């Protein structure tokens, strides 16, 4: 995404774009904070693939490392921490004024003053030919819908931070698929600017109930979506 939220690109964004992370890892710049997350498990990827298969639009998925094992059914879910990510953290040199921490399986670089954002959604939905043929960054105006699949470490990020960023960027629809509470949330009609941006309309459905995606002419089948063990109550 480029300039999502209308905030100016500063030095931290240049460092972020030059930062090479281990293969399959996700790097995101959210409100001036850089987050590096491990590759998702197969349950996560299964949901992303299911959504992409049901949508008659062009879909672009973020890259991941192959053959990442999924959590065992009934086990306590833990964020996977690869040796490559730990080694990357131990050798990481950060910009002046930043600090790097390894928190719950993610690397967090914080301390910068510029509130710039370059998120990396799980799935980008756009009309065929609407966006650039290649490249990591996608103009906000080319996007029809963004999809995020929540993990235990990304609940606040997906439900609050990215909700604001995507609304500020004018993304028409933002679909949050949340296995931690076994529900989908569709946000539409972005309004407001900057920190006050939000979506005016919210539709929530439980896993197993079709999610109407009227802007795409699709009833999304969610029956195969897997919830995380010990999924909690639905979010309001």
Average per-residue pLDDT for the chain: 84
> Percentage of the chain surpassing pLDDT 90?
54
- Pull the structure tokens for residue 48: 């992303």
Please name which of 234, 235, 229, 213 lies closest in space to residue 52, comparing C-alpha atoms. 213
Matching residue, tokens 């799935």: 123
Q: Looking at the chain, how many residues does it have?
A: 236
pLDDT, position 77: 44
Give tens-digit pLDDT for 23-74.
888 899 998 899 999 888 889 999 999 999 999 999 988 644 333 333 333 3
- How much is the average pLDDT of 143-156? 94
pLDDT, position 209: 97
Residue 14 pLDDT exceeds 50: yes
Residue 158 pLDDT exceeds 70: yes
Give tens-digit pLDDT for 62-93.
644 333 333 333 333 444 556 788 999 999 98
- How much is the average pLDDT of 100-120? 87
Q: Between the CA atoms of 1, 30, 177 and 220, what dihedral angle is there, to the nearest 10 degrees? A: -20
CA pair distance 53, 191, nearest whole angstrom: 30
pLDDT, position 8: 41
Span of 23-37, 126-140, 197-211 with lowest mean pLDDT: 126-140
pLDDT, position 96: 80
CATH topology of domain 11-220: tt1808, chain A (3.90.1570)
**By the 8 A CB rule, do 6 and 166 touch?**
no
Matching residue, tokens 């281990």: 22
């Amino acid at each position: 995404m480029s300039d999502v939220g209308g905030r100016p690109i500063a030095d931290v964004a240049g460092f972020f774009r030059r930062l090479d992370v281990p293969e399959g890892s996700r790097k995101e710049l959210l409100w001036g904070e850089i987050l590096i997350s491990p590759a998702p498990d197969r349950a996560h990827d299964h949901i992303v693939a299911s959504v992409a298969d049901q949508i008659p639009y062009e879909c672009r998925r973020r890259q991941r490392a192959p053959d990442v094992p999924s959590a065992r059914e009934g086990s306590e879910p833990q964020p996977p921490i690869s040796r490559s990510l730990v080694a990357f953290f131990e050798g990481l040199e950060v910009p002046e004024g930043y600090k790097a921490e390894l928190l719950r399986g993610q690397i967090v670089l914080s301390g910068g003053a510029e509130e710039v954002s370059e998120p990396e959604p799980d799935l980008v939905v756009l009309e065929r030919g609407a966006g650039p043929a290649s490249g990591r960054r996608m103009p906000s105006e080319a996007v029809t819908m963004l999809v995020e699949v929540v993990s235990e470490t990304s609940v606040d990020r997906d439900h609050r931070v990215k909700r604001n960023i995507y609304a500020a960027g004018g993304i028409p629809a933002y679909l949050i698929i949340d296995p931690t509470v076994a529900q989908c949330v569709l946000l539409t009609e972005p309004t407001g600017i900057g920190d006050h941006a939000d979506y005016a309309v919210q539709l929530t459905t439980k896993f197993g109930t079709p999610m109407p995606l009227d802007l795409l002419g699709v009833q999304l089948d969610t029956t195969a979506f897997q919830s995380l063990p010990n999924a909690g109550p639905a979010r309001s």
